[in-house]
Amino acid sequence: MANIKKIKGTIGILTGGGDVPGLNPAIRAVTFRAIREGYRVLGFKRGWAGVIDIVRNKKYDNSNNFAELSKAVVNKAARTGGTFLHTSRTRPSHVAKDMVPKHLRDSYDKEMNDLTPEVIKNLDWLGVDYLIPIGGDDTLSYGVHLFKKGIKVMAIPKTMDNDVPGTDYCIGFSTCVTRTISLTNSLRTAAGSHERFLVLEVFGRYAGFTAMLPTLAGAAHRCLIPEVPFNIDQLAELLTKDRNDNPSNYSIVLVSEGATFEGGKMTFEGMEKDAFGHAKLGGIGDEVSLALKRVSPKYNDGQVVNVINQKLGYLVRCGDPDFIDSVVPTAYGNLALDLILKGIDGRMVVLKNGRYDHVPIEVVTDSKKFVNVDKYYNREKLHPFYKNFEMLPLFIMTND
């Protein structure tokens, strides 16, 4: 008689929110380990959207909503950036009427609908024992909601803003910083050739880590972060001094997309909001550039300093993951399986002070993560502090 290996259970995995390099290595790590331990792995497509779109009929083709993952499929995908499972910003507890799947519209016809009952039924229909969402605080906040409803959830933090609370590191952050440094170094040749200010808008809605770390590494002279509203005259004076001190006669500032002028508000591309209530940020780099050009004569002997203005945007989140975003997702995926094998759920795997660990998943919704300004940011100089590094972890700025 053939030796048929009994399946211990089913693990579901999904990726939600923005794409980042490192998602595919995380999916690979979970799948390889889970299969080796005797589990079946289902990959849900398009984040939470794939979970709500399922039709509970074995004759229905749900291949656009989920697929059983194999070692061959995930091994090939892990070499690349993005997520081969695709992603969306779907929030099943808040689904607009026109976004409700067609087969559910007779039952859910309000302007805003909670499809959580359908999510739970779908997971039960598929026999999912554990669900592993990989995402930022929005994606994981719904994971917390499901956990409180009785679903066994194991979360993995991802976001290039590095602002998921409870962890020092989120998948995608290192590659974002690496790309930002590389692109800034490429653009400085144009800034130097024309003797200009170089203004680069980078990611960072509420937290300034993606501007702070590249500046700390020497990519820029100054950085503006969401945690500290800035004064344009202060910035212009500092950049002018940097420019004058530079033999190539240019200076650089990194501007977090969530940064604000003193007394001002965040700058948005439009008024449309996603399922989590966030309007798309964008344009603060343009505003800073115009303002710098306007006030620069005050600090440059009456002469205007022209500006090169560039939004780095998706350039820092595309392409292959770097070394750290290949290794950390592998560790996170294996740690998630370690916990599942022990019968533990309701946790988020994390890096804290340079060590892998896990924390209650509720930390995602119980707190917020920002740059500790007093500890890491020099308000007078508009750049990080360059002191007191002894015994700090790799990425310096911890989840305080």
Active site residues: 161
- Residue count of the chain: 400
| 382 touches 288 (CB < 8 A) | no
Judge whether 235 and 211 are in contact, CB under 8 Å: no
Phi, psi for residue 244 in degrees, rounded to 5: -65, -30
What are the backbone dihedrals phi and psi of residue 190, each rounded to the nearest 5 degrees, phi first?
A: -70, -45
Of 260, 304, 306, 263, residue with least CA distance to 283? 260
Q: Rounded to whole angstroms, how far apart are CA atoms 43 and 70? A: 10
Say which amino acid occupies 61: D
Residues 6+ apart with CB under 8 A from 237: 299
